[in-house]
Amino acid sequence: MKSLDMFLIWVYLAAATVVEVFLFYTYAGDVLVNYAISVLALSKAIFIFAFYMHIRYEQRSLKIFSIIPLFFLLALLAGMFASLGH
């Protein structure tokens, strides 16, 4: 992987973190902001998983096996969002 690619990924991760912190301290408690922060956090986790853990360059079987926990994460997020209105 090129160092420019790694730098651009780092820039995205830093910018997404800044946006998350800004949204939290500016619009805390708004349901739409909670969704936005969760989507940003999930995208950051995917970038870290794919590029910094080098899963993007592994065999297909390892990729599929390592993505299975993502479905559990999505189920937990769905349960969390379902309980926000109560």
- pLDDT category at 85 given cuts 50, 70, 90 is low
Where residue 61 falls among pLDDT bands split at 50, 70, 90? confident
Range of the domain at 16: 3-83
Q: Please say whether the beta carbons of 84 and 29 come within 8 A.
A: no
**pTM of this structure:** 0.67
Cα 66 from Cα 60, distance rounded (Å): 10
Instruction: Please tell me which residue, 14 or 38, carries the higher pLDDT value.
Output: 14
Lowest mean pLDDT among 19-28, 32-41, 43-52, 76-85: 76-85
d(CA 41, CA 35) in angstroms, rounded, equals: 10
Which DSSP symbol is given to 2?
Answer: -
For residue 28, pLDDT over 90 is answered with no
CB 23 within 8 A of CB 37: yes
Q: How many domains does the chain have?
A: 1
